[in-house]
Chains A and B, each alone.
Chain A
Amino acid sequence: MTVMLFLQQLRGELRKLFARPRTWMGYGAFLIMEAVILFVYKLDRSQRAMKGIVERNGLEFGTYYSSLTITFTIMLISMVLLGAIYFALVAGDIVAKENEDGNLRLVFARPISRFRLLLVKYAAVCLYTFTFVFFVGISGYLMAVTAVGWEGGLLVMEQKMKVFAAYPEWVDGAKRLALAATGIGISMITLSSIAFMFSCLKIKPAAASIITLTILFVDMILQEFPFFKPYESWFVTWRMSAWVFLMEQQISWPKIIESYAFLGGLNITLFILGWLSFQTRDFKT
């Protein structure tokens, strides 16, 4: 009964999320971005550059100029450029916007605890973030298939985390790509958790999103400073990039589990901080 009610509340929360035009505009923005990346990939200059890199590594260009490789690039670029903004906007809105619009006054006329309401909203944000990454992966792949066909392997080159891997077989590449999408989805939940925590404070929704993005950009910039290089594993965005290790030929699970445990702990802490602030507030104009 309690679980059923929770699921009904979650369904309602997702219904609200998907009833907003902005949500669909976000999907549209990602599709446009995927198309742009694909267009760039199709340019002769891009193909020549990629051919050079692939062949310098002793690999066959024809095998790795594929829908899987393009999808990987689409996910990598679009998540960094658009995903951060988009998830911060959605999670930053989820509580603060309803407070600003006065909807919470109707909700709290009901016998639902603040903790439970936040739990429902947080679950909706996590689910949304996680599934959105798969939307980007699947739509990106379908676009890439229409452009270069479905065959070919997967080539992974990620400079920041220093990962280079090649999967000549489509099946192996597809499995790793699905694993990567799972990893990105989990990593992105941390971004949403930061925005969610700020959304629980008594601030404007836009402020919650902007503060989240500021924190992440500062985090990314600071870890590039030579002084902070020995401490890079303490930076949130470095931990969020741990999904790239899932693409390594030999997966180092302890390294990945360590990062996700760090992120999991951070997510729980952020939720609790948000809840504590939310719990002590008065809801009245």
Chain B
Amino acid sequence: MLEVNGIWKSFGGKAALEDVSFKVAKGEIFGLLGHNGAGKSTSLGIILGMVATDRGEVTIDGISVVKDRARALRKVGAIFEAPAFYDYLSGWENLRLLMSYTCPFDAKMAREVVQRVGLTDRIHSKVRTYSHGMRQRLALAQSLLPEPEVLLLDEPTDGLDPEGIKWFRDFILGLRNERGTTVLFNSHLLAEVELMCDRVAILRQGKRVFEGSVDGLNEDTPVYEADLQPWGTALGLIHGAGGEVLEEGRFSLPHEVDPAAFVATLVGTGVRVRAFAPVKRSLEDLYMEILNGGKK
């Protein structure tokens, strides 16, 4: 549905993106991660045609954004950087105005979207009276008009409270499940990305350093944390089973080793097992490994 092929961009001679490529399949939720300045927003800006590429190509549903931006973005809804509405207009007037840049305003559709994002009571108030959360909901509402097939969201949960973040997550997941909407979004909230995304790409200093499935984060050698006494005896058994010690109390075992049988061996050898649990590798672990060499 969305293809980014080898995009390059520099600002004032400083490289912002270097040969970044990734694909987002139809109905997929794809997360773009990276430190501040890694090139996430620049990538989104290029996908939206707001930032010109030095090299490379972006296509949406097979249409080139570089060559035919208007046609490529016809099925796209987006929030790019902090949404700045016309504060002196009402939320409704903002929606009317922004939708008119895509197609004739459809009041029925707009009412439905406003209801979905929970802004019905305040939609006719001036935007300057809105809270941050309400602005984010309005931003989401405008991106949903008129029924996009692809949603591009730049830090959409930035500044939201936990309740707002959960609401947003449920909303996006519901949208994908009901309509098959394709979603690409940038976020710093790794836990949220992990809960929502099917796949992620990580950018570091303008380069894509990882792209993969969120489900596949734990496909590597399983890691365990255990409180074993005496540690020296346990160490020998771990090595004997083909495992590798990462630090005291933390080690990996090959896939073929059954953890229950290994615990039985430990107990049978006189090792006291006070705790033994597999370590689930989170997206945060992966992110830190890639970007900081494992330091949190």
Contact = CB atoms under 8 A, between A and B. Distances in A.
A103 B81 CA distance: 11
B97 A16 contact: yes
A111 B98 contact: no
B171 interface: no
Interface string A99-113: 001110111111111
Contact of B105 (A8, A20, A109, A110): A8
Given A15-B93, A111-B76, A8 B81 contact: no
Contact of B86 (A8, A19, A280, A284): A19
Interface string B147-188: 000001000000000000000000000000000000000000
Nearest to B96: A12
A104 to B, nearest CB: 8
A253 interface: no
Contacts of B88: 16, 19-21
Contacts of A1: 104
Interface in B62-93: 69-74, 76-86, 88-89, 93
B259 interface: no
A221 interface: no
Interface string A5-35: 1001101100110011100000000000000
Nearest to A22: B88
Contacts of B51: 282-284
B98 A110 contact: yes
A113 B70 contact: yes
A16 B45 contact: no
B70 A111 contact: yes
A15 B97 contact: yes
A115 to B, nearest CB: 10
Contacts of A9: 100-101
Contact of A5 (B71, B81, B103): B103
Nearest to A103: B84
B1 interface: no
Interface residues of B, number: 42
Nearest to B16: A284
Contact of A111 (B81, B83, B96, B102): B102
Nearest to B152: A109
B80 A106 contact: yes
A105 B84 contact: yes
A109 B60 CA distance: 14
A285 interface: yes
A284 B50 contact: yes
B72 to A, nearest CB: 8
Contacts of A117: 101
A8 B78 contact: no
A101 B84 contact: yes
A99 to B, nearest CB: 10
Contacts of A8: 100, 104-105
B143 interface: yes
A49 interface: no
A4 interface: yes
Contacts of A102: 81-82, 84
A109 B104 contact: no
Given A5-B103, A12-B96, A12-B100, A103 B45 contact: no
A209 B98 CA distance: 27
B102 A112 contact: yes
B114 interface: no
A111 B74 contact: yes
Interface string A27-71: 000000000000000000000000000000000000000000000
Contacts of B74: 111
B252 interface: no
Q: Across the A-B interface, give the 4 residue pairs with the lowest CB-CB distance, nearest first.
A: A102-B84, A109-B78, A111-B73, A110-B101
23 contacts: A8-B100, A12-B97, A16-B86, A16-B88, A103-B85, A105-B50, A105-B83, A106-B142, A107-B98, A108-B80, A109-B76, A109-B77, A109-B79, A109-B80, A111-B70, A111-B73, A117-B101, A282-B11, A282-B51, A282-B52, A283-B45, A284-B41, A284-B81
